[in-house]
């Protein structure tokens, strides 16, 4: 007997990211991005590369924003796996202008940029 597929809520990720933006408004005002990946055989985050304005990476670490975003991305990957939602192995979180968004990438897209 195979596990039952959970229905994917397409608003879940954007809602959670908006909540994070409200909690850390200074982080989403500045331009930056976080590229992340999950290993093929795992359903959780395996690494991330941060590109932020000068000094903002330190602020992200000191304020707890970095830890919370990493935990959130891990939860997103696991949720997508539970719902059999693709893609789920890599993406980009973009910050700037008071907004935060996520774009999920296919493997080929992530390796070219």
Query: How high is the mean pLDDT of the chain?
Result: 90
| Residues 65, 59 contacting (CB under 8 angstroms) | yes
pLDDT digits (tens, 9 = 90+) for 18-63: 999 999 999 999 899 999 999 877 778 999 999 998 888 999 999 9
Q: Enumerate the domain spans of the chain.
A: 12-112
Q: In 45-97, which residue ranges form alpha helices assigned H by DSSP? A: 56-63, 65-82
pTM value? 0.87
What pLDDT sits at residue 112?
Answer: 44
Per-residue model confidence (pLDDT) at position 107: 74
Share of residues in the chain with pLDDT > 70 (%): 90
Residue bearing the bigger pLDDT, 62 or 4: 62
């Amino acid at each position: 007997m195979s596990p039952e597929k959970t229905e994917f809520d397409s608003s879940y990720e954007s809602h959670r990211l908006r909540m994070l933006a409200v909690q850390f408004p200074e982080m989403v005002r500045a331009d930056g991005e976080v590229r992340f990946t999950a290993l093929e055989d795992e359903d959780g985050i395996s690494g991330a590369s941060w590109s932020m304005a000068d000094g903002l990476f330190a602020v992200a670490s000191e304020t707890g924003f970095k830890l919370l975003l990493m935990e959130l991305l891990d939860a997103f990957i696991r949720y997508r796996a539970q719902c059999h939602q693709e893609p789920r192995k890599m993406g980009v979180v973009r910050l700037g202008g008071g907004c935060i968004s996520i774009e999920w990438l296919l493997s080929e897209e992530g390796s070219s940029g």
